Amino acid sequence: MDTFIYKTNISSDSDFHTVKKTLTEKKSINECTIDLLDVDKVLRVVSDSFTVAEIENEVMNMGYYCKELEG
């Protein structure tokens, strides 16, 4: 299982639930959370099916900014 961490512009619970639902419908996600209080609106995705680029592309195709945070 891999944990992916992204900077986003997802700004509400409603937007997050839309993103989470879309990602979940595509592939298996073990965990998906967002910190809306963080300045980077940090999205964390735990999955053994997705790649970094796949998640970025899926989120950006929904109209949101999404870039992996280097750690």
Return d(Cα 47, Cα 42) in angstroms, integer.
16
CATH architecture of 2-68: 2-Layer Sandwich (3.30)
Whole-model pTM: value is 0.92
- 70 pLDDT exceeds 90? no
Return d(Cα 64, Cα 30) in angstroms, integer.
22
pLDDT score recorded for residue 56:
96
Return d(Cα 66, Cα 16) in angstroms, integer.
12
Q: What is the mean pLDDT of the chain?
A: 94
**Where do the structural domains in the chain lie, given as residue ranges?**
2-68
